[in-house]
């Protein structure tokens, strides 16, 4: 019974009027862009083989 009410509550989660699917996409895009912008911070010092 608790799980069904929790499932219904999860379907109705709205943050700033946006659905949970929108926020999942935004989070993934932010992680992807963050990884691109910080990829050269620890540059490889081996200079190849």
Question: d(Cα 35, Cα 19) in Å, to the nearest integer?
Answer: 25
pTM of the entire predicted model:
0.51
Distance CA 33, CA 17 (A): 24
Which tens digits make up the pLDDT trace of 3-48? Answer: 566 556 555 666 667 788 888 999 999 999 998 888 776 666 776 6
Q: Which residue has the higher pLDDT, 45 or 1?
A: 45
Q: Can you give the pLDDT at residue 42?
A: 66
Strands (DSSP E) contained in the chain are 14-15, 18-19
> What is the reported pLDDT for 27?
94
């Amino acid at each position: 019974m608790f799980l069904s009410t929790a499932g219904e509550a999860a379907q109705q989660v709205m943050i700033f009027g946006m659905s949970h699917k929108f926020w999942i996409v935004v989070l993934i895009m932010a992680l992807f862009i963050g990884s691109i912008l910080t990829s050269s911070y620890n540059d490889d010092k081996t200079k190849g083989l």
